[in-house]
Amino acid sequence: MTKDISPGLLRVIDANLNRVKEGIRVVEDIMRYRDNNKELSSKLKSLRHLARVEETSALLMNRDSMHDVLRTTTKSEITRTDIKSIITANFKRAQESARVLEEIYKLSNHKQSEDFKQIRYELYNLEKIISLNEK
């Protein structure tokens, strides 16, 4: 699959794959350790594990995080008012990254694209469930 994907797009995949997994993991750990919610943390864990791709070696070879032109932290990224804002920010981060991966994989792997679409829609659903129950 990587022969059809340029080095620049491999960087896009790598960054967004990391973001989607990291965003899911933050909410998963809150549900797991703070709330002891086995059902929701298990659903999030399953989604995180679904966010896998075949090109891991190619992704690592093309990673250049030290030269990322937007590497610096913005004020909105370091300002959180409460746990609900952390949950919301991480759901949005994961959803947006799933959408990017869904679109990029339309170029080379339709099944992978559909997997990220499934992840995105399940994240929308879980965000609603979790956010409506968050104080």
pTM: 0.86
Reported as a single tens digit per residue, the pLDDT across 13-30 is: 999 999 999 999 999 999
Q: Please count the structural domains in the chain.
A: 1
DSSP string, the chain: -GGGS-HHHHHHHHHHHHHHHHHHHHHHHIIIIIS--HHHHHHHHHHHHH---S-HHHHHHH--GGG-TT-SPPHHHH---SHHHHHHHHHHHHHHHHHHHHHHHTTT-HHHHHHHHHHHHHHHHHHHHHHHH--
CATH number of the domain where residue 72 is located: 1.20.1260
114-122: average pLDDT = 98
Range of the domain at 32: 2-133
Residue 42 has pLDDT above 90, yes or no: yes
